[in-house]
């Protein structure tokens, strides 16, 4: 049971000029009589909500859509699975799940709930005042319930876990996203507010979970089943190539992005420490040492050594390294920050040079016939045409990259950030969200783990709540500053270890 009817019907009935000062608060609809917002504490005045950013239409439409998909329990699931719209053929396997005969709303999970709640909070919706307060307070209760210690994974998990983070990132990304949301709550809740203590406790619990799950080498473990599938496919690769194996085991299985997952977790831990949450130094130290291998301080290059096997993920590793350097610069005392910033600037220089080299047309060679006229040289053009694929993993990489560019004075920083966000906005669906084709493959894996292998049970492609929330958060990030005067000179060689 979700809040769709109340929220969307009320929104549709409100004329544009009757919206609240923060128009996002009206997307929740008017509360029924007898349902009150949590009372203000008698002795403590809640902190005044800072003015929210000016919201672009894509953000407003996406948040309206997400507000209508909140479960009565306060959380969010993947999306809605529609019944099969084609006739089935052949007998059904004995272990197949029951056929879907009506709309099935995915149960809430930690990653989706956290990402959506953080999107609303970062967009300026207050958890203490206005029409958005009650739904966001229910979302905080849902986060507390979903953050309870997970049950032992018995090779299943379609209900308990997010299929996308489990298959394409790492399971502990769920806790990192939850930590982001809880920190956003804490920033809007004054000390002494009834929900502040709960948020403080939950932040400590999530940090402790991430600390306990970290491996000795600094990384966080992949999902055991997803990792097993990849290992089986790697062992059978020679057989597949020779045609001696009929098909790959989960041949459409999405390829995970472990560096992005680790960088996402490290970013959340840095933010927690800045917010005053106790984060063990050894946890951050091990993770920094791991991700530091993705940056060459001598040249500024990011992404680590490329091989034919890992080259498709080079952009992900570069975004992870740049965000780490950004976090280190922010965490450095002001009197020492200049050196860290120079290291980040040098990495940006190398990143944008590589980006231009990869997307600049090669010059025409000499004519084959000497009598033919040599073509005129094209005028140099700073405009870049860069593909912007959309998936949950790619949008997480865009988020980490654009965040790292916020203080960049590189001449390409602002155009690239604007180009990415414009491309994301242009791909918004009519239902106001975004869809990820890889989610189909991730959910195929998840449905099979749940005990059903009948393809008639597989959900059709639909708007994904996690992707939509991450896209909103990316669109809300501030862009790099506009440059005044000549571009800065490239950063000098040298780096801070």
Could you read off the pLDDT of 111-139 as tens digits, one per residue? 999 999 999 999 999 999 888 899 999 99
Is the domain 4-37+54-85+95-151+164-305+312-359+384-476 a CATH 3.40.309.10 member?
A: no
Asked if 128 and 40 count as a contact pair (C-beta separation under 8 A), the reply is: yes
pLDDT of residue 432: 82
136-159 per-position pLDDT tens digit: 999 999 999 998 876 555 444 445
Mean pLDDT value across residues 278-304: 93
pLDDT band at 38 (very low <50, low <70, confident <90, very high): very low
Q: List phi, psi (to 5°) of 180.
A: -55, -50
Give the end-to-end CA distance of the chain in Å, rounded to a whole number. 53
Q: Please provide the average confidence, as pLDDT, over all residues in the chain.
A: 76
Asked if 68 and 154 count as a contact pair (C-beta separation under 8 A), the reply is: no
- Give the three-class secondary structure for 463: strand
What secondary structure, in 3-state letters, does 329-378 show? HHHCCHHHHHHHHHHHHHHHHHHHHHHHHHHCCCCCCCCCCCCCCCCCCC
pLDDT of residue 441: 56
Domain boundaries, the chain: 4-37+54-85+95-151+164-305+312-359+384-476
Mean pLDDT value across residues 474-485: 84
The number of residues in the chain equals: 497
What distance in Å separates the CA atoms of residue 320 and residue 94, rounded to the nearest whole number?
Answer: 44
pLDDT band at 451 (very low <50, low <70, confident <90, very high): very low
pLDDT of residue 455: 45
Percentage of the chain lying above the pLDDT 90 cut? 41
Task: Write out the two tokens for 433.
Answer: 């969200």
pLDDT band at 230 (very low <50, low <70, confident <90, very high): confident
What distance in Å separates the CA atoms of residue 403 and residue 477, rounded to the nearest whole number?
Answer: 7
DSSP letter for each residue of 144-202 = HHHTSPPPP--S--TTTS-HHHHHHS-TTHHHHHHHHHHHHHHHHS-TT-HHHHHHHHH
DSSP 98: P
What distance in Å separates the CA atoms of residue 177 and residue 174, rounded to the nearest whole number?
Answer: 5
pTM: 0.79
């Amino acid at each position: 049971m979700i809040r769709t009817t109340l929220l969307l019907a009320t929104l549709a009935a409100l004329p544009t000029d009757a919206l609240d000062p923060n128009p996002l608060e009206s997307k929740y609809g008017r509360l029924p009589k007898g349902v009150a917002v949590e009372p203000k504490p008698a002795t403590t005045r809640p902190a005044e909500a800072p003015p929210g950013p000016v919201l672009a239409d894509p953000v407003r439409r996406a948040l309206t859509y997400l507000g209508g998909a909140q479960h009565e329990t306060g959380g969010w699931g993947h999306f809605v699975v529609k019944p099969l719209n084609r006739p089935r053929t052949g007998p059904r396997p004995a272990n197949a799940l029951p056929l879907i005969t009506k709309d099935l709303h995915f149960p809430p999970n930690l990653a989706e709930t956290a990402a959506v709640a953080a999107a609303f909070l970062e967009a300026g919706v207050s958890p203490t005042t206005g029409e958005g307060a009650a739904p966001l307070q229910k979302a905080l209760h849902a986060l507390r319930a979903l953050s309870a210690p997970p049950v032992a994974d018995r090779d299943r998990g379609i209900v308990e876990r997010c299929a996308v983070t489990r298959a394409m990132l790492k399971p502990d990304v769920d806790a990192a996203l939850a930590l982001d949301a809880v920190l956003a709550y804490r920033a809007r809740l004054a000390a002494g507010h009834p929900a502040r203590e709960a948020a403080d406790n939950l932040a400590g619990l999530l940090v402790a979970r991430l600390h306990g799950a970290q491996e000795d080498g600094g990384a966080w473990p992949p999902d055991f089943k997803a990792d097993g599938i990849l290992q089986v496919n790697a062992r059978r690769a020679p057989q597949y190539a020779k045609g001696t194996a009929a098909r790959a085991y989960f041949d459409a299985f999405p390829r995970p992005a472990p560096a992005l997952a680790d960088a996402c977790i490290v970013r959340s831990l840095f933010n927690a420490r800045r917010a005053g949450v106790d984060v063990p130094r050894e946890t951050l130290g091990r993770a920094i040492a791991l991700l530091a291998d993705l940056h060459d301080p001598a040249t500024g290059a990011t992404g680590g050594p490329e091989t034919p096997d890992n080259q498709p993920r080079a952009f992900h590793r570069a975004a992870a390294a740049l965000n780490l350097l950004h976090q280190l610069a922010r965490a450095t005392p002001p009197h020492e920050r200049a050196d860290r910033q120079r290291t980040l600037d040098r990495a940006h220089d190398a990143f944008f040079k590589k980006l231009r080299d990869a997307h600049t047309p090669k010059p025409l060679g000499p004519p084959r016939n000497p009598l033919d006229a040599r073509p005129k040289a094209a005028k140099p053009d700073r405009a870049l045409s860069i593909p912007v694929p959309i998936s949950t993993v790619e949008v997480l990489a865009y988020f980490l990259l654009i965040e790292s560019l916020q203080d960049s004075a590189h001449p390409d920083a602002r155009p690239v950030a604007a180009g990415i966000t414009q491309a994301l906005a242009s791909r918004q669906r009519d239902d106001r969200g975004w869809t990820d084709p890889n989610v189909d493959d991730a959910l195929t894996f998840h449905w099979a783990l749940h005990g059903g292998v009948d393809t008639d049970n597989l959900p059709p492609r639909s708007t994904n709540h996690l992707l939509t929330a991450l896209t909103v958060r990316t669109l809300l990030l501030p862009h790099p500053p506009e440059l005044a005067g000549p571009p800065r000179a490239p950063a000098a060689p040298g780096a801070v270890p």
